[in-house]
Chain A
Amino acid sequence: MAELRMTTPRLLVLHAFLDDPTQERYGLELATAAGLEPGTIYPILVAFENAGWLSSREEQVDPHLEGRPRRRYYTLTADGVGAVRDVLAENARRRGRRATSTRKLAW
């Protein structure tokens, strides 16, 4: 599994996934849930997919009936759920340490 650099947008997307780890979601839906600009979501999803945290599948609908191309649905893999929880926990610890050190400096 590749090591991923965690940025704020990536963390926001992971939080959105962990709201319901078993639910499949598409890009625009995830961007809205994470509070990101919709057009920016795909590099994040592809990075997570390359790392093995996400799997994706193309939906089985008739594009002519739907009036749009088929969507791609993303879901967390079993490895992904564990990895994401570790990352978010680590991030929370760092933020906690930073907040503590800031308080020490302030006082």
Chain B
Amino acid sequence: MSAHQEAGRRTGALTRIDRVLVAALGSALPSQFRARQQAEWAADLADLARERQPAARWRYLLAAAWTLPTLIALARHAQVDGPRSVSPPAVLTARMLAWIVAISLGWTLLSWSVVIAGPYLAFDVPARQAAGIDHGPEMMWPIDERSLPSLLRAALELGGYAAIGMDLVLVAVAAGVTVGFLLLPFRQTWQDRLYTLAGGAVIGTVALTLTAVNMSVSLGTSVTGLTLLGTGIAAAGLAVGRFGLPRRWRIVLGLLAAASFAVVITDNTFGSAMIVWFRD
């Protein structure tokens, strides 16, 4: 690897904001031209990032936005490179599925934390119950129900109810994310493909384990907690460890770890009391 390439790897990466803005600009372009132009913008921004010119990057994006209408009009007749620069529908569908599933799992976890575990612990509900003080979940939301936060409350409560049945949902989530993320990258090196396959194997194993756990629960055994604790620790270790996994895999593994720990908490006596409090 040349010194220039090494420098590119170190400092040329785009920021999340760059990626979002390039994607937003590109979304206005005709689909057959989009990938080509997004690659042009991203390569230029990576160059500007390498030269450490944040102001120049913002100016670049503003200039690109300013000339976008002209580019849209011209792009309808522009040359494209054929299938290599256009994502096949299966990849786009899998990518969308993967994002929906990952966001859904993230929202479920957030809801569980905000409307169930968080207030239960923060307001010391068991002590309030013992003392006969008001301890209903509604004490979290002393706001007019017609106001915007009540919509947020409804969304969080729905997420909370989904979280209660999470150990069943988690299997489908893990399987969906595995399929989606395996199909997601279509311009990969062999090393990245191996990483992707390794990540898929880990998540697939988690999914199979959870399926087995669900079966064992239905048979009346009690291995749920220990198995989920083990898979949660393994997923968390992979998410935070330096194994060279792509960032999207770390995010998914982190979510799976958090979900596994949440199920462990929910499945014991303390967690059951929380759920009863929330349902009541």
List B contacts of A71 (CB < 8 A). 39-40, 43
Give CA–CA (A62, B59) in the complex, Å.
Answer: 28
Stretch at the interface among B1-9, B98-106, B162-170, B214-222: B1-9
B233 at the interface (CB under 8 A from A): no
Contact with A43, one of B38, B62, B67 (Cβ below 8 angstroms) = B67
Please, what's the 1-or-0 string for B3-46, where 1 marks a CB less than 8 Å from any CB in chain A? 00101111111000000000000000000000011111111101
Give me 17 A-to-B residue pairs in the complex whose CB atoms sit less than 8 angstroms apart, sorted by A's number.
Answer: A28-B47, A38-B63, A39-B59, A39-B65, A40-B63, A40-B66, A42-B71, A46-B74, A49-B79, A68-B8, A68-B12, A68-B43, A68-B47, A69-B43, A70-B43, A71-B39, A71-B40
B78 at the interface (CB under 8 A from A): yes
Chain A residue nearest in CB terms to B74: A46
Number of chain B interface residues as a range = 35 or more
Known contacts A43-B70, A49-B79, A50-B74; A28 and B44 CB within 8 A of each other? yes
Give CA–CA (A65, B191) in the complex, Å.
Answer: 12
Majority secondary structure, A binding face: helix
B64 at the interface (CB under 8 A from A): yes
List B contacts of A37 (CB < 8 A). 59-60, 63
Q: Which residues of A contact B (CB under 8 A)?
A: 26-28, 37-40, 42-43, 46-47, 49-50, 56, 58, 62-72
Give CA–CA (A47, B78) in the complex, Å.
Answer: 8
B192 at the interface (CB under 8 A from A): yes
Chain A residue nearest in CB terms to B85: A58
Give CA–CA (A38, B46) in the complex, Å.
Answer: 13
Interface pair B78/A39, CB less than 8 Å apart: no
Known contacts A43-B71, A49-B78; A66 and B5 CB within 8 A of each other? yes
